Copies of this chain bind each other. A is one copy, B any other.
Protein backbone atom coordinates (compact mmCIF):
# COMPACT_ATOMS: atom_id res chain seq x y z
CA UNK A 1 0.00 0.00 0.00
CA UNK A 2 1.35 3.40 -1.00
CA UNK A 3 0.33 6.61 0.73
CA UNK A 4 0.09 9.86 -1.20
CA UNK A 5 0.01 13.30 0.40
CA UNK A 6 -3.38 14.86 -0.32
CA UNK A 7 -3.15 18.01 1.74
CA UNK A 8 -0.92 19.63 4.32
CA UNK A 9 -2.10 21.93 7.09
CA UNK A 10 0.18 23.96 9.33
CA UNK A 11 -1.14 24.35 12.88
CA UNK A 12 0.44 27.60 14.08
CA UNK A 13 1.87 27.65 17.58
CA UNK A 14 -0.92 28.02 20.22
CA UNK A 15 -3.68 27.40 17.64
CA UNK A 16 -5.83 24.51 16.45
CA UNK A 17 -6.90 23.24 13.04
CA UNK A 18 -9.59 20.88 11.81
CA UNK A 19 -9.09 18.19 9.22
CA UNK A 20 -11.80 15.85 7.88
CA UNK A 21 -10.94 12.25 7.09
CA UNK A 22 -12.76 9.59 5.10
CA UNK A 23 -12.58 5.96 6.14
CA UNK A 24 -9.18 4.53 5.24
CA UNK A 25 -7.41 7.87 4.92
CA UNK A 26 -4.38 8.53 7.08
CA UNK A 27 -3.38 11.52 9.18
CA UNK A 28 0.22 12.20 10.11
CA UNK A 29 0.89 14.67 12.92
CA UNK A 30 4.43 16.04 12.78
CA UNK A 31 6.37 18.07 15.35
CA UNK A 32 8.80 19.56 12.85
CA UNK A 33 10.85 21.44 15.43
CA UNK A 34 10.42 18.66 18.02
CA UNK A 35 9.23 18.89 21.61
CA UNK A 36 5.70 20.09 20.91
CA UNK A 37 2.58 18.51 22.39
CA UNK A 38 -0.46 18.10 20.14
CA UNK A 39 -3.93 17.64 21.62
CA UNK A 40 -5.89 15.46 19.21
CA UNK A 41 -9.70 15.27 19.29
CA UNK A 42 -11.85 13.20 16.94
CA UNK A 43 -15.58 12.77 16.49
CA UNK A 44 -17.83 11.01 14.04
CA UNK A 45 -19.82 14.11 13.27
CA UNK A 46 -22.42 13.70 16.00
CA UNK A 47 -21.88 15.43 19.35
CA UNK A 48 -22.74 12.12 21.02
CA UNK A 49 -19.75 10.18 19.74
CA UNK A 50 -16.19 11.25 20.44
CA UNK A 51 -12.86 9.51 20.65
CA UNK A 52 -12.78 8.50 24.32
CA UNK A 53 -9.63 8.04 26.37
CA UNK A 54 -11.44 5.99 29.03
CA UNK A 55 -13.15 3.63 26.57
CA UNK A 56 -9.86 3.20 24.67
CA UNK A 57 -8.13 2.20 27.93
CA UNK A 58 -10.67 -0.52 28.71
CA UNK A 59 -10.69 -1.68 25.07
CA UNK A 60 -7.03 -2.66 25.27
CA UNK A 61 -6.49 -2.88 29.07
CA UNK A 62 -3.69 -0.36 28.54
CA UNK A 63 -3.03 3.32 29.34
CA UNK A 64 -2.26 3.90 25.64
CA UNK A 65 -2.75 1.78 22.51
CA UNK A 66 0.11 -0.06 20.87
CA UNK A 67 0.90 0.18 17.15
CA UNK A 68 -1.92 -1.48 15.24
CA UNK A 69 -4.54 -0.84 17.94
CA UNK A 70 -7.49 1.54 17.56
CA UNK A 71 -8.68 4.45 19.63
CA UNK A 72 -12.40 3.91 20.22
CA UNK A 73 -15.31 6.25 20.78
CA UNK A 74 -17.76 6.83 23.62
CA UNK A 75 -19.79 4.12 21.84
CA UNK A 76 -16.75 1.80 21.84
CA UNK A 77 -16.37 1.84 18.05
CA UNK A 78 -12.91 2.17 16.46
CA UNK A 79 -12.41 5.67 15.03
CA UNK A 80 -8.62 5.98 14.46
CA UNK A 81 -5.95 3.27 14.49
CA UNK A 82 -2.38 4.02 15.55
CA UNK A 83 -0.32 2.79 12.59
CA UNK A 84 3.10 4.42 12.96
CA UNK A 85 5.10 6.36 15.53
CA UNK A 86 8.59 7.70 14.86
CA UNK A 87 8.78 9.47 18.25
CA UNK A 88 10.02 7.81 21.46
CA UNK A 89 6.44 6.67 21.96
CA UNK A 90 5.63 8.76 24.99
CA UNK A 91 2.06 10.06 24.71
CA UNK A 92 -0.58 10.90 27.30
CA UNK A 93 -4.19 9.82 27.64
CA UNK A 94 -4.69 10.72 31.33
CA UNK A 95 -5.06 14.50 31.26
CA UNK A 96 -7.75 16.87 30.02
CA UNK A 97 -7.23 19.74 27.59
CA UNK A 98 -5.88 22.96 29.08
CA UNK A 99 -8.53 25.65 29.39
CA UNK A 100 -8.96 29.21 30.69
CA UNK A 101 -9.65 27.97 34.25
CA UNK A 102 -6.38 26.04 34.23
CA UNK A 103 -4.37 29.09 33.19
CA UNK A 104 -6.12 31.29 35.77
CA UNK A 105 -5.13 28.73 38.45
CA UNK A 106 -1.55 28.95 37.19
CA UNK A 107 -1.60 32.73 37.78
CA UNK A 108 -2.44 34.03 34.33
CA UNK A 109 -4.45 37.25 34.39
CA UNK A 110 -6.25 38.05 31.16
CA UNK A 111 -6.49 35.94 28.06
CA UNK A 112 -4.36 32.87 27.33
CA UNK A 113 -4.82 30.51 24.40
CA UNK A 114 -5.89 26.97 25.36
CA UNK A 115 -6.54 23.62 23.70
CA UNK A 116 -10.17 23.68 24.88
CA UNK A 117 -10.82 27.04 23.21
CA UNK A 118 -8.88 25.93 20.12
CA UNK A 119 -11.26 22.97 19.79
CA UNK A 120 -14.33 25.17 20.12
CA UNK A 121 -12.96 27.61 17.55
CA UNK A 122 -11.92 24.91 15.08
CA UNK A 123 -15.36 23.29 15.20
CA UNK A 124 -17.38 26.48 15.58
CA UNK A 125 -19.22 24.81 18.47
CA UNK A 126 -19.77 26.10 21.99
CA UNK A 127 -19.27 22.70 23.61
CA UNK A 128 -20.41 22.48 27.24
CA UNK A 129 -17.95 19.73 28.08
CA UNK A 130 -14.70 19.33 26.15
CA UNK A 131 -13.82 15.68 25.46
CA UNK A 132 -10.55 14.38 26.85
CA UNK A 133 -7.93 14.53 24.08
CA UNK A 134 -5.11 12.24 23.05
CA UNK A 135 -2.05 14.27 24.02
CA UNK A 136 0.53 13.35 21.40
CA UNK A 137 4.22 13.73 22.26
CA UNK A 138 3.29 14.43 25.92
CA UNK A 139 5.28 12.44 28.46
CA UNK A 140 3.40 11.93 31.75
CA UNK A 141 4.80 8.86 33.51
CA UNK A 142 2.97 7.33 36.48
CA UNK A 143 5.01 6.40 39.55
CA UNK A 144 4.31 3.17 41.48
CA UNK A 145 2.61 5.38 44.11
CA UNK A 146 0.16 6.68 41.50
CA UNK A 147 1.74 10.11 41.10
CA UNK A 148 2.02 11.83 37.72
CA UNK A 149 5.26 13.39 36.55
CA UNK A 150 5.38 16.24 34.02
CA UNK A 151 8.25 15.71 31.62
CA UNK A 152 9.38 17.85 28.75
CA UNK A 153 8.26 16.32 25.45
CA UNK A 154 10.97 13.89 24.30
CA UNK A 155 9.88 13.97 20.61
CA UNK A 156 12.76 15.05 18.40
CA UNK A 157 12.56 17.29 15.31
CA UNK A 158 10.45 15.65 12.61
CA UNK A 159 8.92 13.02 14.90
CA UNK A 160 5.50 11.96 13.68
CA UNK A 161 2.49 9.86 14.64
CA UNK A 162 0.28 8.38 11.91
CA UNK A 163 -3.31 7.23 12.40
CA UNK A 164 -5.78 5.64 9.99
CA UNK A 165 -9.45 6.61 10.00
CA UNK A 166 -11.74 3.67 10.77
CA UNK A 167 -14.81 5.75 9.96
CA UNK A 168 -15.47 9.11 8.38
CA UNK A 169 -14.49 11.56 11.09
CA UNK A 170 -13.61 15.10 12.01
CA UNK A 171 -10.24 15.58 13.68
CA UNK A 172 -8.96 18.68 15.46
CA UNK A 173 -5.34 19.04 16.52
CA UNK A 174 -4.28 21.84 18.85
CA UNK A 175 -0.62 22.86 19.13
CA UNK A 176 -0.73 23.09 22.91
CA UNK A 177 -0.13 26.67 24.12
CA UNK A 178 1.14 25.56 27.53
CA UNK A 179 4.14 27.80 28.33
CA UNK A 180 3.96 27.71 32.14
CA UNK A 181 4.83 24.05 32.71
CA UNK A 182 7.75 22.34 31.01
CA UNK A 183 5.81 20.05 28.69
CA UNK A 184 6.61 22.10 25.56
CA UNK A 185 10.08 23.03 26.86
CA UNK A 186 8.70 26.50 27.62
CA UNK A 187 8.07 27.48 23.99
CA UNK A 188 4.91 26.54 22.11
CA UNK A 189 5.73 25.62 18.52
CA UNK A 190 3.70 24.78 15.41
CA UNK A 191 2.69 21.32 14.23
CA UNK A 192 2.00 19.98 10.74
CA UNK A 193 -0.94 17.79 9.70
CA UNK A 194 -0.65 15.66 6.57
CA UNK A 195 -3.68 13.92 5.10
CA UNK A 196 -2.59 10.86 3.16
CA UNK A 197 -4.66 8.69 0.87
CA UNK A 198 -3.76 5.18 -0.20
CA UNK A 199 -3.51 3.63 -3.64
CA UNK A 200 -3.59 -0.10 -3.21
Contact = CB atoms under 8 A, between A and B. Distances in A.
Contact of A63 (B53, B99, B105, B148): B148
B53 A54 contact: yes
B148 A61 contact: yes
B129 A64 contact: no
Nearest to A52: B96
A47 interface: yes
A120 interface: no
Interface size class of A (residues with CB under 8 A): 20 to 34
10 cross-chain pairs, A with B, having the tightest CB-CB distances, nearest first: A48-B128, A54-B96, A63-B146, A61-B148, A76-B101, A54-B132, A74-B129, A58-B95, A55-B96, A62-B147
B62 A129 contact: no
A94 B57 contact: yes
Nearest to A66: B146
A87 to B, nearest CB: 16
Interface in A41-55: 47-48, 50, 52-55
